[in-house]
A and B are shown apart, each in its own frame.
Chain A
Amino acid sequence: MSTSAHSHHDPKMRVEDVRLITGGGKYAADWNFPGQLHAQFVRSDRAHAVIVAVNTEAARKHPGVKGVFTGADAVRAGYTKPPHSLTFAGVNGMKARAPERPVLAHGKVRFVGEALALVVAESAAAAADAAELIEIEYRDLPAVVSPEGALADGAPQLHEDVVPGNLALETEAGDAAAVEAAFANAAHITRLKLEVTRVAPNPMEPRACLVNHDPADDSYLFHVCSQGITTLRKQLSAYTSVSEDRIRFELGDVGGGFGQRTPAYPEYCALMIAAKETGRPVRWVSTRSEGFLSDTHGRGNIIEGALALDRDARFLAMRLEWVNDMGAYLSPASPGHIRNTTICMTGVYRIPALYAHYRVALTNTTPVSSYRGAGRPDIAYVVERLVSQAAAELDVDAAELRRRNFIPPEAFPYKTPTGSTYEYADLPGVLDKALRLADWKGFPKRRARAEKRGKLRGLGISTVIENSGAGQAAKDEVELELDAHGTVVAYTVSKAQGHSHETTLAMIVADALGLPLDRVEVRQCAPGKQQLQGNHTGGSRTTVGAGSVCHLAALKLIEHGRSLAALDLGVEPSQVEYAKGVFRSRESGRSVRLGDLAKNGAVSVVGEGKFGSTFPNGCHIVEVEIDPETGTTEIASYATVDDCGKVINHTVVEGQLHGGIAQGAGQVFGEQIVYDPGTGQLLTGSFMDYCMPRAGMLREISTEEHPTPSKVSPLGVKGMGESGCTASLPALANAVVDALRPLGVGHLDMPMTPAKLWHAVRTARKGGN
């Protein structure tokens, strides 16, 4: 790791910490406007039904109520066509079938929790009371909550003619014929069917949104939890046809995002209708229960996989058959489920032939969108479970099988059979380090010791690579503004949701300018600076994109400052040297301080850049111990070696890794969104039913870095916000499967709860008797 570049900044506390630990953070629900109204949504309690009538009369008469809005208002406003991003062609040129979704349901409801009316009132209590008075007459329709069920013949049709067979898109990647030929000649084929369960991202901050309409220019000002304004603004504009220049933001802190805070939700657009109609600011704060029902879910994929190997256990081909559950409507950020799984389909391995086939299904459930990794953990989970299962079937060491099939360092840049190009990875180097860190060879002894204690110990490994850093924006821009005190403000349109941008990006700028950290301030999505282009924060891209541009902008500021200083010093710019905030004439020795350049007004430069994907990679090795009497699993050890390029702030990187791993562990051991198959009711709609990770689940993580700089970014960084999650799902699951394999337990799906494992152990032992 290159510590040289950033070693002079070692902030003991993050810049953002002081306000966050003293209660000074300002989250979306902390904004208030004088004269604001409070919003309450009425949500469907049916999974699938025709809306026969909505009677709002009593609600309108309720004291304090200033407006009631329904699907008819949404249709009248024309807010019916949500943007989506499944814009690539499918099989035989098929285009995605995108159903309409009025921002308040009209005609039909298609999932429990779908908003169909909105009440605004002088107080939150009055709005809540009035919402209870709205009478809705439904005609129930049969519902389908499983994606495979939705694609079956005779399934209830969610969108009738628009999405026949509930099939929104059928698409493919790779070479089917090549795969077929390779399978015909295989010495061994490993087969597996897995579910990457549907989970709730659950950032701790519930959604909140305060909208103010300005009739003077028919514009809207949003205070909302967001992952950056550019994508949200574009989507809001697409949904409502309000031009982007009339949608503005003033954002404070964001309490977690994980992809779920990216999209333009229909609720936000409904609030726009109410704000315009009433002429008052309208404030909505979601409850957690509403969040479970209406915030987009993550993952939700069923995959059948097959891996073909030759006599020497070398991989020949892999075939994956996907069913992607998108919920009742296509969300604006759904392509990750397909695109990200094809980009890294080959994983870290040389697999000559690949083919994947996808059927994107609509179901009577909450729409699915990005969740930490957005497809990257899904593909890694399938590939890594296939590889570990193949190792077990062929009785080859799981690490050895991986090493044998790695893309060798000399093969980079490596063009994969699905058309992406991996920049570089030192896979054997990463693996060797991880095997040492985890004491791989010592496992049999530890397993034997555990057995004496009555515990089943398992060893799991994953070696993964993922695409990160690239974004949809044409370019990333950062503006640096220098004032007369010599303070530099960096303006970005990305937005941290816990990522520490105010610290990390400031470190990058301070480093390039040779300034102390406290002379640089990062302002994200600031009013007046919202014309800057750039990506929102997601896909592990901010340090690669905005971070690299911070560096480039600082260099640009030095060059611009050099010419200004040259004028002051009466010399040619080439004769001016810059160091640590001071421009000095080589000849006269006279100098000008950075701040002096701004004495007659701020000096500003805009840096820009466009960056492709970087490919962080790593190896996670886990040991678990299962108590066969209770089915509970303890994570006994967790070791990671990651290559996320040059590291700017080790503490922040480690924190991201911890969080990602914990979210992976949460999904492996407890988290799952469950719908009642008959009624389509959400059964895991609160923290009492949905098993969130708690303190103690993961006691310790041993981490080592194995950095190889990326050439994509001038900083050499690679995105790393999602790698912990991507690697932890398969590593943990493989460890559990390994622990139970000696008993003859063959297959296990997530979540690997105590009840499931206890039953698996019991069934296996009975079978053994």
Chain B
Amino acid sequence: MAKVEIKVNGVKQSRNVEDRTLLANFLRDELGLTGTHIGCDTSQCGCCTVHVNGRAVKSCSVLAVQVNGADVLTIEGLAKGSKLHPVQQAFSECHGLQCGFCTPGMIMATVGMLKDTPNPSEEEIIHGLEGNLCRCTGYINIVKAVKQSAKMLRGKKPAKAAKKAAPKKKAKAAKKAKKSKKAKKAAKK
């Protein structure tokens, strides 16, 4: 048994758990946060995606003890009271869910993806969702929902999103833009 102290959705939680307890099971069984789903046992489906210290993580692939002291956000903590997170809203409005089982993981993965890549191309979205399986929707409406989420997030707080969301990427993007300008110039020559 091991003692863990994890901040989950802003609340400090302390429990004694078996060493082998996965974060997914800790959230579901110890805290009753059953919005985090377990859809496989090979870390392929992504149903259990949560955020650990702001990064999207498959909670079936880490032990509870590994995230001792960390800050965990689950689907239950995403909306602010009755105000839905834009990604939640977009998934519903685009009919990006049917049975809803993969949805919490999809939403948490999307929130994570858009932090790194606030304005993703279709290819980037598809790449970003590679670790999340859905059996109902055929993904078309999920991709649509991610696009709409990105738009909503950018439209809502563009300055903050850009600042907070990985300045490194921004620098990279700027470099890329410079490069492509150079390339264009070269092509003209």
Contact = CB atoms under 8 A, between A and B. Distances in A.
B46 to A, nearest CB: 10
By secondary structure, the B interface counts as loop
Given A20-B103, A663-B135, A658 B141 contact: yes
Contact of B133 (A24, A659, A687, A696): A687
A659 B104 CA distance: 19
A701 to B, nearest CB: 6
Contacts of B40: 206, 287-288, 686-687
A204 B135 contact: yes
B121 to A, nearest CB: 12
Given A23-B76, A23-B104, A695-B126, A14 B92 contact: yes
Given A652-B95, A694-B129, A22 B35 contact: yes
Nearest to A697: B139
A698 B140 contact: yes
A14 B147 CA distance: 20
A21 B92 contact: yes
Contact of A23 (B18, B36, B99): B36
Interface in B18-52: 18, 20, 28, 33-42, 44-45, 47
Interface residues of B, number: 53
B169 to A, nearest CB: 21
Contact of A693 (B35, B39, B139, B141): B139
A692 B135 contact: yes
B97 to A, nearest CB: 6
A696 B99 contact: no
B39 A206 contact: yes
Interface string A186-208: 00000000000000001111100
Interface string A54-69: 0000000000000000
Given A23-B35, A205-B37, A498 B93 contact: no
A439 interface: no
Main secondary structure of the interface of A (DSSP, over half): loop
Contacts of A206: 38-40
Contacts of A26: 34
A652 B99 CA distance: 12
A22 B28 CA distance: 15
Interface stretch (A168-176, A254-262, A573-581): A254-262
B140 A204 contact: no
A369 B156 CA distance: 49
Interface centre among B39, B129, B143 (most CB of A within 10 A): B39
Interface residues of A, number: 57
Contacts of B135: 202-204, 256, 258, 659, 663, 692
A21 B103 contact: yes
B42 A21 contact: no
Contacts of B143: 695-696
A17 B93 CA distance: 9
A501 B88 CA distance: 20
B47 A204 contact: yes
A27 B101 CA distance: 8
A27 B47 CA distance: 13
A22 B95 contact: no
Contacts of A499: 98
B98 A22 contact: no
Contacts of A24: 35, 76
User: Which 5 pairs of residues, A with B, have the shortest CB-CB distance?
Assistant: A23-B35, A255-B101, A498-B99, A20-B100, A662-B138
Interface of A: 12-14, 16-18, 20-27, 29-30, 125, 202-206, 253-256, 258, 287-289, 497-500, 651-652, 654-655, 658-663, 686-688, 692-701
Interface of B: 18, 20, 28, 33-42, 44-45, 47, 74-76, 78-79, 84, 88, 91-93, 95, 97-104, 107, 122, 125-126, 129-130, 132-143
8 contacts: A20-B100, A21-B92, A21-B107, A258-B135, A288-B45, A500-B98, A658-B137, A663-B135
